[in-house]
């Protein structure tokens, strides 16, 4: 099974990728118990983005919000404003089997920066 695919954002999404929110990633204390309390997972962030996926004819097929996980010792979204266009570095679409053998998909990101700031390293 393919476990990871790197996403070419210029061919996967149309128009701007828009930053919506960023918060420390939270996970269940007991992953097998959906009623267990949540705890912050240090060094990981959940970033919500709005994208417009490309349809078969090359146009936008509506809008979709995706949540991506990014590892960073400090807030990688510091200074970003809600609805600000961003550029992504190293977007991955991952698949794995959970404890019950069911396929589970998730997004990971290596960096982001405000759109139009060429030459600056993604955070």
Specify the pTM: 0.85
Q: How many structural domains compose the chain? A: 1
Q: Kindly state whether residue 57 falls inside one of the protein's structural domains.
A: yes
Q: Kindly state whether residue 121 falls inside one of the protein's structural domains.
A: no
Q: Kindly state whether residue 24 falls inside one of the protein's structural domains.
A: yes
Q: CATH code at 38?
A: 2.40.50
Q: Kindly state whether residue 17 falls inside one of the protein's structural domains.
A: yes
Residue-wise pLDDT for 39-95, tens only, equals 998 999 999 999 999 988 888 888 999 999 999 999 999 999 999 999 999 999 999
Residue-wise pLDDT for 20-41, tens only, equals 999 999 988 887 788 889 999 8
User: 41: closest CA among 33, 50, 32, 31?
Assistant: 31
Q: Kindly state whether residue 123 falls inside one of the protein's structural domains.
A: no
Query: 44 Cβ partners below 8 Å, 6+ apart?
Result: 24, 25, 69, 70, 71, 72
Q: Please give the residue range of the domain that contains residue 30.
A: 4-114
Please give the Cα distance from 28 to 52 (Å, whole number): 31
Q: Kindly state whether residue 94 falls inside one of the protein's structural domains.
A: yes
């Amino acid at each position: 099974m393919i476990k990871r695919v790197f996403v070419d954002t210029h061919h996967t999404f149309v128009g701007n990728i828009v930053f919506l929110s960023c918060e420390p990633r939270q996970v269940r204390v007991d992953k097998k118990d959906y009623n267990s309390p949540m705890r912050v997972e240090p060094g990981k962030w959940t970033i919500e983005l709005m994208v417009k996926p490309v349809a078969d004819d090359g146009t936008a097929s509506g809008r979709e919000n995706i949540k991506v996980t990014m590892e960073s010792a400090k807030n990688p979204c510091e200074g970003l404003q809600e609805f600000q266009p961003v550029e992504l570095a190293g977007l991955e679409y991952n698949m794995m089997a959970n404890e019950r053998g069911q396929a589970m998909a998730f997004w990971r990101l290596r960096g982001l920066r405000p759109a139009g700031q060429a030459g600056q390293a993604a955070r």
